[in-house]
Amino acid sequence: MRKRHFLQGLSLAIVASTLVVPLASGGSRAVPRIVFPVVGPVTYTNDFGDSRGRLSHQGNDIVAAKKSLAVAAEDGKVTFWTSSPSAGCMLYLYGRSGTMYEYIHLNNDLTMQNDNKGKCVAGTAYAKGLKNGAKVKAGQPIGFVGDSGDANGIAAHLHFEVHPRGGRAVSPYGYLKRARVLLFAAKEGSPVSLTLKGKLIAIDSAVGTLSMQVSSVTSSTGLNLKKLSRTLTLELSPDTTAVYDYGADLSFDKLGGLAPGSSIVVETTASPATLATESGSALSLVTSAVTIMTD
């Protein structure tokens, strides 16, 4: 497994044996299927146990753009930790399953530069309005990816740890690979609409479905993600409108005649934020408008 040289200097680790637990869902003694803890494009490797000087790495480093949203892996309660020189701005999530998760190196910059002028407070390191000790739902924004602590000046990333039953750390890698990956994150129940750009896969106007390969997402919450590669199947509504980018209308019954691979922009109706809509589950999102882009 390849290693990230820019992370080799991190000293944050605790020597521990690699306790292996089975992947499972539910129950107070098992790690459930989690929500992926970062929203947007990321890279990570199975670097659990890698050498960090005299110590071993007790999590996986999820590399992402500075200030990317960090979200709750499962329902639970959060505790802020703000006084660690190595961890920087850190958060504990005590999951309902009994699993404890650590979110380390959260943001401490006020700008997009490495200014180190921010504090470990809500709105900078932690999600705006989030309070120490708050109960959170899976997928709820809880923080922002950064490079605080001994990651200062290194590529922004989230050091993510998984502690089954609140005990020793285990490799998060398997849980991350099986996690539910979110398109966006918002307060549960709040109305959110999306603008999706990408390529058409297929339209079945008789059944009422549209499948597309999504390359970018803009959310009514202000989130803007690019360089995505997500396949989504959306519900077509009889009220869905279709137009070409130069203004000509396309009737609903002719939507099915669009060629696969066509560049399209799809707007969705405002829907309550749920794990299904946030992760783009099949038919959880309803189209309100389709724009066919021409070269």
pLDDT digits (tens, 9 = 90+) for 158-202: 999 999 999 999 999 999 999 999 999 988 899 999 999 999 999
CATH 2.40.50.320 in the chain, residue ranges:
191-292
Per the listing, tokens 């020189």 go with 85
* DSSP-assigned letter for residue 22: -
CB 199 within 8 A of CB 263: yes
Superfamily of domain 5-177: Glucose Permease (Domain IIA) (2.70.70.10)
- Residue 2 has a pLDDT of 38
CB 93 within 8 A of CB 75: no
- Residue 162 has a pLDDT of 97
pLDDT grade, residue 148 (50/70/90)? very high
- Residue 61 has a pLDDT of 95
Q: Rounding to the nearest 10 degrees, give the CA dihedral for residues 217, 219, 223, 229.
A: -20
- Residue 29 has a pLDDT of 60
Stretch among 30-39, 140-149, 230-239, 244-253 having the lowest mean pLDDT? 244-253
Per the listing, tokens 């309070």 go with 131
pLDDT surpassing 60 at residue 62: yes
What average pLDDT does this structure show over 205-230?
Answer: 93
pLDDT grade, residue 13 (50/70/90)? very low
CB 35 within 8 A of CB 183: no
Nearest to 234 by CA among 259, 253, 207: 207
Nearest to 125 by CA among 83, 151, 88: 88
CATH 2.70.70.10 in the chain, residue ranges:
5-177
Residues recorded for the chain = 295
- Residue 3 has a pLDDT of 36
- Residue 295 has a pLDDT of 73
- Summarised one tens digit per residue, pLDDT across range 70-124 is 999 999 999 999 888 889 999 999 999 999 999 999 999 999 999 999 999 999 9
CATH of 191-292, one of 2.40.50.320, 3.40.50.80, 3.60.15.10, 1.20.1560.10: 2.40.50.320
- Residue 15 has a pLDDT of 29
pLDDT grade, residue 254 (50/70/90)? confident
